[in-house]
Amino acid sequence: MIPVTILTGFLGAGKTTLLNYILTEKHGHRIAVIENEFGDINIDSELVLSADEEIFELTNGCVCCVATARADLLRILEKLLARREKYDHILVETSGLADPTPVAQTFFVNEKVMTQTSLDAIVTLVDARHADLTHEAVNQVVIADRIIMNKIDLVDDARLGGLEAQVRKLNATAPILRSSHARVDLENILGIGAFHAQRGEISLEEHEHAPGMESRSFVFERPFERQRLESWLKALLAERGDDIYRVKGILALKDEPRRHVVQAVRRMMEIRSADAWAGDTPQSKLVFIGRALDGAALEAGLSGCLA
């Protein structure tokens, strides 16, 4: 499966700078880039320095809110999959005003895309100097698997520490990487399997989130009945999908020798097989991120799905 990285961040956070850095570094990946600009014309591809990779432009509007742009994204993905021998990684750069949630959902709605690509990580850049955690920026931070705090050379330690505390309130689980000029160790953002949280690397710390965001975390020693769990989660998301932004977890399933990974973005959900448990004791860990989460009700519902 071809890993896909969604690169997001508010206007001016440094997405194009990071993209240029990725495309000019020697990292061994053959990357296809899909760009989405908010506006009638797309100039981002003109700002990309490397001509070695093929750049695909989405010019029919913002991919997060315009149906034609989402259709174009699927069309380009299918085009890439028909030539998959040329690429081993796809990078989708969203517009600075985009909510990355619908972009991530694109990888759950098309069977061909679902079976041939794997959403590797949602990487969000935050401008350390000019950060304005507006509605769009909050959504970008909440859903991130990696957060890059960029332009740290332009702020003092007090400003940086305060901003990181704000970001941590919004997202309790994503590692925060610091950077100047968007330069980070690319091994920390490409080919990391962060979206599917392999090897159980999920933080179970409880945090209060602002504004109104919160997380609920659960650990279960007994395995789940897969069909029962899938049915319960689908019903929960159908009812509460507007309030539940993310669900992610490592699952131990009855009569299954391998770990399984559950991921949900709003009402879109999947459960996939991962690596073997090996010497580890099978144990399920789940994290729910959203608004007005009833921890007792979630625990009761999950407990009812145990084998």
Spell out the domain ranges in the chain. Answer: 2-188, 199-303
Interior CA angle at 239 toward 238 and 240, to 5°?
100
Which amino acid, 22?
I
Query: Where do runs of H (alpha helix) occur along the chain?
Result: 15-24, 44-47, 67-81, 100-109, 111-116, 135-142, 157-170, 226-240, 295-303
* Cα 207 to the center of its chain, rounded Å: 19
Of 32, 143, 44, the residue nearest 91 (C-alpha): 32
Burial of 227 (0-12, 13-18, 19+ CB in 10 A): exposed
- 84-109 in b/e form (b: 16+ CB < 10 A) is eeebebbbbbbbbbbbbbbbbbbbbe
Q: Are domains 2-188 and 199-303 of this chain identical in fold?
A: no
Task: Please name the residues in contact with 221: beta carbons below 8 A apart, sequence gap of 6 or more.
Answer: 283, 284
Classified by CATH at the fold level, domain 2-188 comes out as Rossmann fold (3.40.50)
- Beta-carbon count within 10 A of 212 CB: 11
Return per-residue pLDDT of the chain as tens, 307 residues: 889 999 998 877 888 788 888 888 877 778 888 876 544 334 344 444 444 445 555 444 444 444 555 677 888 888 888 888 888 888 898 877 777 887 888 887 788 888 898 888 999 999 998 887 767 788 889 889 999 999 999 999 999 999 999 999 888 888 999 999 999 999 899 888 876 544 334 343 433 334 456 778 888 999 999 999 999 999 999 999 888 877 878 899 999 988 888 877 678 788 888 778 877 788 888 888 777 889 999 999 999 999 9
* 266 dihedral zone (left: phi>0; alpha: psi -120 to 50; beta): left
Neighbours of 291 (CB within 10 A): 14
Other beta carbons within 10 angstroms of residue 112's beta carbon come to 12
Domain 199-303 falls in which CATH fold?
Answer: Hypothetical Protein Yjia; Chain: A;domain 2 (3.30.1220)
